[in-house]
Structure 1
């Protein structure tokens, strides 16, 4: 495995561009590990409706970055007290949605540091029932990213202020607030250490479970390409916010795979516009489904026909097609 040196950059748009560039352009015969720390920012899941996840006024007043990532899942808050890790590997069909495989070495190192971490739920690392890390994945079909956050010394008051917690999440999980269910790793360490020391200990611990690492520094031409990707994608309002679609039907439900939120515009009995939001994980883009249903009569039989050959699990994870059809048409 090769460790990628991000040279201390803390701009989240640049770090996400670096991560995607490495995924798409680095040598496919080897695995990579990337660490990065971001300035105060909200990182939005690929399928989320940004404006409904953030406290816009607070973000504007405090100059907090808002950036969409390529992977699914929910919105997370980053600051200089949060360490992000990213494994870039081949996609062999067994690794996608296998969060245990990629969190296991991180959990092992945390345990060796005296932090009783464990993987729980879909994709979270918890200590004493409090979340210290969330993970997500993205696949190009050949290569994949498995990345996550590690809350080391994050300002928890900012998490609550910057993120809007949807009522559906509060009702379905019984959370009183975001603050009540997250914690910093530093809270569980017997001896205080700096972020830099924590990062180094984590890296050394990950070395021990693999072949010797080597550190890779990007060439000037590669950094130019990363900056170009940042400018052409991660700097753009269309990528980070996108347009909010017009709709006259909203269907929203939380499943075991996550929340699915449908915005459907029906004109003259046919679906003229459809947008699928949510914090689910899937291998394929939901834009496939959106395109398939444009022009289809808003009728369960016709919708079922249009989706006959569609594998719902490819887009949402372990979800039955009947559950999705019922959500679209309202029979739940």
Structure 2
């Protein structure tokens, strides 16, 4: 088994590394990594419905879609992530308890009463500190999980706080749980680095064929190609979202504006705008401007820069109207 520690906190690179190892390494792998502030959404989720877009933009938080299903999670430098890539029989690959057991072993050795609960969570005193997800590829399983060690929990709640009334879709929704940090339950304080080392040592003791592996230049080039073509792109992270309907109302000095958008594969296919605002130009021109535009701030701002928004919505600025689109 190849035992690998990441040397970067770039979430796109770390998620791309998982796919690269899954598809390109014959040996089984164990991978540990820490990401900078980021939201990692499940493969089948509507990204915008999972994130607090205003907070994410203001805090410059990366948003990356992963290979596996399940709900959205917040990563920061206080969160350790672990990944198993193992071979097996197709009907026996998915096993959440098997791949979380080593983590529980390490924690229980540290005197922490951690346990497996529900479908895919690890908890301490009923509070979640680890969510897990899996992805099957041919005869391999990719199992990965989060480990909240010393994360900034207020940031987590703000980043994932979103108005459920904005989005109507059939995408998988995240289930929010009460969460806790592992460090709050340790009898003797250790650093995240020490915790990471304990996990790696335990995995190496479990597998006789394990060896420390450092990514080669060829590996890094292959991973960067995945970043450039997939994990670092809007098409994957936002455009891959299932079809959804977006609805939002905003109050402005010029009156109330209600925006309704039908979005498919990240592209606005239909737009209707209602409200009690005053206008001097036909509002259908704005609706037409939005159609076939990605539901993404940069593209919509560029489209709206072509018109004088105040002629369609009296006493309303371009920035105010943009706010109504997210």
Using structure 1 for the length normalisation, give the TM-score. 0.68
- Aligned residue in 2 for 1:85: 82
- Aligned residue in 1 for 2:41: 44
- Aligned residue in 2 for 1:130: 127
- Aligned residue in 1 for 2:207: 210
**Structure 1 residue 232: deviation in Å?**
0.4
Q: Which moved more, 1:133-142 or 1:68-77?
A: 133-142
Q: Helix, strand or coil for the counterpart of 2:90?
A: coil
**Structure 1 residue 51: deviation in Å?**
0.4
* Contact 2:32-2:80 within 8 A present in 1 as well: yes
Going from structure 1 to structure 2, the CA distance change for 1:95 and 1:149 (only over 3 Å counts) comes to farther
Q: Helix, strand or coil for the counterpart of 2:20?
A: helix
- Please, which runs of 5 or more residues in structure 1 have no aligned partner? 169-176, 249-262, 266-272, 274-332
* Contact 1:91-1:139 within 8 A present in 2 as well: no
Q: Helix, strand or coil for the counterpart of 2:130?
A: strand
Distance 2:101 2:208 in 1: 16
Q: Is 1:2 matched with 2:34? A: no
Going from structure 1 to structure 2, the CA distance change for 1:135 and 1:245 (only over 3 Å counts) comes to closer
Root mean square deviation of aligned Cα: 2.4
Using structure 2 for the length normalisation, give the TM-score. 0.69
Q: Is 1:20 matched with 2:3? A: no
Distance 1:84 1:245 in 2: 27
**Structure 1 residue 97: deviation in Å?**
3.1
Going from structure 1 to structure 2, the CA distance change for 1:12 and 1:264 (only over 3 Å counts) comes to closer
- Aligned residue in 2 for 1:66: 63
Distance 2:58 2:163 in 1: 22
* Contact 1:91-1:141 within 8 A present in 2 as well: no
- Highest Rg: 1 or 2? 2
How many residues are treated as equivalent by the alignment?
A: 241
- Aligned residue in 1 for 2:236: 239
Distance 1:92 1:221 in 2: 30
* Contact 1:96-1:137 within 8 A present in 2 as well: no
**Structure 1 residue 224: deviation in Å?**
0.8
* Runs of 4+ more than 4 Å apart: 165-168, 243-248
Distance 2:243 2:217 in 1: 44
Going from structure 1 to structure 2, the CA distance change for 1:112 and 1:225 (only over 3 Å counts) comes to same
Distance 1:238 1:164 in 2: 23
- Please, which runs of 5 or more residues in structure 2 have no aligned partner? 166-174, 246-261, 270-326
Within-5 A mapping of 1:165-180: 178=176
- Aligned residue in 1 for 2:191: 194
Q: 2:220 aligns with which of 189, 199, 223?
A: 223
* Contact 1:45-1:70 within 8 A present in 2 as well: yes
Distance 1:100 1:53 in 2: 27
Q: Is 1:143 matched with 2:118? A: no
Q: Which moved more, 1:158-167 or 1:31-40?
A: 158-167
